[in-house]
Amino acid sequence: MKNYWLKRISYLLSKNQLLSTIKSHKNSKFKEEPKKIIPEVSIESITDESDPKIAEAEHKNGNVSYTELQYISKIVKFYQPSTIFEIGTFDGRTTLNMALNAPKAKIFTLDLPKQEIAKTKFRVKTGDLEFINKNQSGVRFIGTDEGKRITQIYADSAQFNYAEFENKMDLVFIDGSHTYDYVISDTMTAMKLLRHKKGVIIWHDYGWYEVIKALNEFYTEGGIYAEMKNIEGTSLAFLKIN
Ligand SMILES: C[S@@+](CC[C@H](N)C(=O)[O-])C[C@H]1O[C@@H](n2cnc3c(N)ncnc32)[C@H](O)[C@@H]1O
């Protein structure tokens, strides 16, 4: 990824943002490890006992775990959203399974094109780079029946203009870039996407330090965020707004 850093530095220099970026990166270093504070609940307490359909079970590095895939699919099956927006397509394993379990839903999934890897609004984590740097997003659903209901969008989640999707989504799944700034930005986006500010938001990787820090802040803020839950045995955070 040597090339990435060269491209990133020259991009930030061209925007006159190199110094401010280095400063904000330094400030984001953790003085101490953030602790998970969002209360845990069992999957059964937010869904039912029935099993979801699962396709493409094989786990690849970058995917949610098999248990997480089952739980996301269970949530989708239980709530039957008409519209779903996903941030972070990767190979489309989660996208495909959400489509499979909400057979009438329209699904929109956004992914950063690898050509834009160095031009993101905020810093991305080194751990995210290998999942961005791929030839094709959504390979698991392309060419399937479910794929006909899935629309792919290619953009930086913090720079995309969501106007045509706002106030139209019933469920948003966030698993894009895992830096603090992205988790904050993607969560604010999810709130705008939800229809009449109601519906379900699921976050992945409540376990990565920066994700913990950002989600703890929302939870501590209270109001609607006070209902956030961490699903037992997983790194999924869940919020249902009625
Ligand atoms: C960990 S993967 C998602 C895995 C997926 N949920 C699954 O279970 O297969 C993260 C994805 O987010 C995308 N991504 C990273 N930063 C992004 C950004 N700033 N905007 C949009 N997508 C981004 C990456 O390209 C990658 O495909």
Domains and their CATH numbers in the chain: 34-241 (3.40.50.150)
| Strand 199-203, strand 237-241: pairing | antiparallel
Strand, helix or coil for residue 215: helix
Candidate from 73, 130, 156, 177 with most ligand 1 atoms within 8 A of CB, to mutate? 177
Instruction: Tell me what the mean pLDDT of segment 165-193 comes to.
Output: 97
> Is 110 near ligand 1, meaning CB less than 6 Å away?
yes
Distance 180 CA to ligand 1 centre (A): 15
CB distance 11 to 119 below 8 Å: yes
Residue 212 CB neighbours (<10 A): 24
Q: pLDDT band for position 1 (50/70/90)?
A: low
Query: Can you tell me the distance from the alpha carbon of 165 to that of 181, in angstroms, rounded to the nearest whole number?
Result: 22
pTM passes above 0.85: yes
Q: Which atom of ligand 1 is nearest to the CA of 134?
A: 25
Q: What is the mean pLDDT of the chain?
A: 95
| Mean pLDDT, residues 66-88 | 98
How much is the average pLDDT of 188-202? 98
What share of the chain has pLDDT > 70, as a percent?
97
What is the 79 CA–ligand 1 centroid distance (Å)?
A: 24
